[in-house]
Amino acid sequence: MKNISRILIANRGEIAVRIIKTCKRLGITSVLAVSDADKESLAAQMADRSVCVGSSAARDSYLKVDSLVAAALGTKADAIHPGYGFLSETPELAEMCEKVDLTFIGPSANCLRQMGNKLLSREIAEKAGVQTIPGSTKICNSAQASRAAEQIGLPVMLKAAAGGGGRGMTIVRDLEELNNVFDILSSEVKSAFGDGSLFIERYFPKAKHIEVQILADCFGNVIHLGERDCSIQRRYQKVIEEAPAYALSGELRTTICKAAVGIAESVAYDNCGTVEFIFDEETDNFYFLEMNTRIQVEHPVSEQITGIDIIQEQIESAALKPLSISQDNVRIKGHAIECRINAELSDGSFKPCPGRIQLWNPPTGPGIRIDSHCFTGYSVPPFYDSLLAKLIVTADDRFEAVKQMQICLDNFHVSGVDTTIPFLKNILHRPDYIQGKVNSRWLEDVVLKSKGSSL
């Protein structure tokens, strides 16, 4: 067992606040790494100590491995929690931590490497006996791409092996388009991710995005906390997430969760993670998409229906303790929905809208959870993502949860910056959404087209 009594949090915004809360509950001292722009943030006020690691641009602060490790060593932290985004899935940080005897709160560098490459992770899933999306191996040129696309059947998804976070992929509907975009995407991802490898997968236009929350420790225990449905997406970014995945039959839920656990076991996975799948409602087939090796934005919906603090389990498994629960003790109760509230222009452009929040008045009450770093008077900096808050409601069933969410959105008052609240309200009142007749293209193809918004 390793001792973790002081954690350096290498992140910002709502997830930094979230991690500090668990640290406080566990009696762990929190040290927050902040950029120049975040010195006065809510997380900085809540942490036991904050330390400025660099200027406002993320590349000079939250993305600087050596500065963050120096900050952890200099403040005598024994562990680093990377949160999500930034360096959370960077093997170099995990390796550097190991070298200087710091605990990286996340899976081993080896797991990060294997799962961070989409081509490699496909192979791993196949070896674990899980069906992957019909697709190609690495493709080197557009001629090869055309052959693969014809074999797989158009439309296809052209993807970067090193991509992530909704970047480095594009839908291709015909061969001419494929020819045109291949070189562009290849050079784009080369400069963005340092690896220009591309591959092709069949594209399912009417599929749901289903993912399974995994918890694992260094003793080989792997459990799941059920699934989430994250089909409401815009440009591959999740907008609304729910748990459990209401569209799946009980039998299918068991099968998909087992598949996810099997993949994690096959790589000796040892922290929290998420295995993502595409679920084709027409055939009831599911296909492995990718694995995310970090805490995810939407983790609260799984916490709400299981009562398990995933950040706590992350810290404990990093401290080489066994998981505090076994699969038999995981009870799924009720239904939770999360809406991501972003500071974005409400004119249909979804452009980020930084600025000072003049009024911040979120709803409160039983079954309502707000994960946020915002407050009245807070100035949303222009340097980072636009997430302001996650509004999470939990009720006995989906119908009640939807009703509750509608009310909560009506009672969420923000002024000073534009937010996505009106957009979320619109979605929550659509019959398709209420009845669950949605897929991962629904938001863009149905809602945004009908609103006449430019995409």
Q: DSSP per residue over 313-354, as a string?
A: HHHHHHTTPPPSS-GGG----SEEEEEEEE-B-TTTT--B--
Catalytic status, residue 235: no
Residue with tokens 């001292």: 29
Beta-bridge partners for 24: none
- Residue with Cβ nearer another protein (55 or 326): 55
Burial class (CB in 10 A: 0-12, 13-18, 19+), 10: buried
CA dihedral for 175, 177, 183, 188, sign (positive or negative)? negative
Both tokens assigned to 55: 């200027």
CB contact at 8 A, 222 and 269: yes
36 binds another protein (CB under 8 A): yes
- Residue with Cβ nearer another protein (77 or 162): 77
- Residue with Cβ nearer another protein (74 or 220): 74
Burial 329-360 (b: 16+ CB within 10 A, else e): ebeeebbbbbbbbbbbeeeeebebbeeebeeb
Minimum CB separation from another protein for residue 190, in Å? 23
88-147 binders of another protein (CB under 8 A): 96, 100
Question: Which range touches another protein (CB under 8 A), out of 61-69, 123-131, 135-143, 158-166?
Answer: 61-69
Question: In this chain, which of 20, 37, 157, 243 binds another protein, going by CB under 8 A?
Answer: 37
Question: Which range touches another protein (CB under 8 A), out of 71-79, 221-229, 282-290, 343-351?
Answer: 71-79
- Residue with Cβ nearer another protein (69 or 215): 69
45 binds another protein (CB under 8 A): no
CB contact at 8 A, 304 and 405: no
Minimum CB separation from another protein for residue 103, in Å? 17
66 binds another protein (CB under 8 A): yes
Minimum CB separation from another protein for residue 59, in Å? 10
69 binds another protein (CB under 8 A): yes
Minimum CB separation from another protein for residue 12, in Å? 15
Report whether the peptide linkage leading into residue 82 is cis, meaning its omega lies within 30 degrees of zero. Answer: no
Q: Give, to the nearest 10 degrees, the angle between helix 91-99 and helix 109-116.
A: 170
Catalytic residue among 122, 253, 294, 398: 294
Assign 302 to helix, strand or coil: helix
385 binds another protein (CB under 8 A): no
409 binds another protein (CB under 8 A): no
Minimum CB separation from another protein for residue 51, in Å? 5
CB contact at 8 A, 238 and 297: yes
Question: Which range touches another protein (CB under 8 A), out of 36-44, 182-190, 229-237, 422-430?
Answer: 36-44
Q: DSSP per residue over 368-404, as a string?
A: EEEEE---TT-EE-TTS--EEEEEEEEESSHHHHHHH
Q: Whole-angstrom Cα distance, residue 255 to residue 213?
A: 14
Question: Which range touches another protein (CB under 8 A), out of 13-21, 51-59, 161-169, 181-189?
Answer: 51-59
Question: In this chain, which of 46, 57, 407, 448 binds another protein, going by CB under 8 A?
Answer: 57
How does DSSP classify residue 132?
B
Number of residues that bind another protein (CB under 8 A): 26
Q: Enumerate binding residues for another protein (CB under 8 A).
A: 36-37, 40, 51-57, 60-61, 66-67, 69-71, 74-75, 96, 100, 356, 379, 381-383
Catalytic amino acids?
294
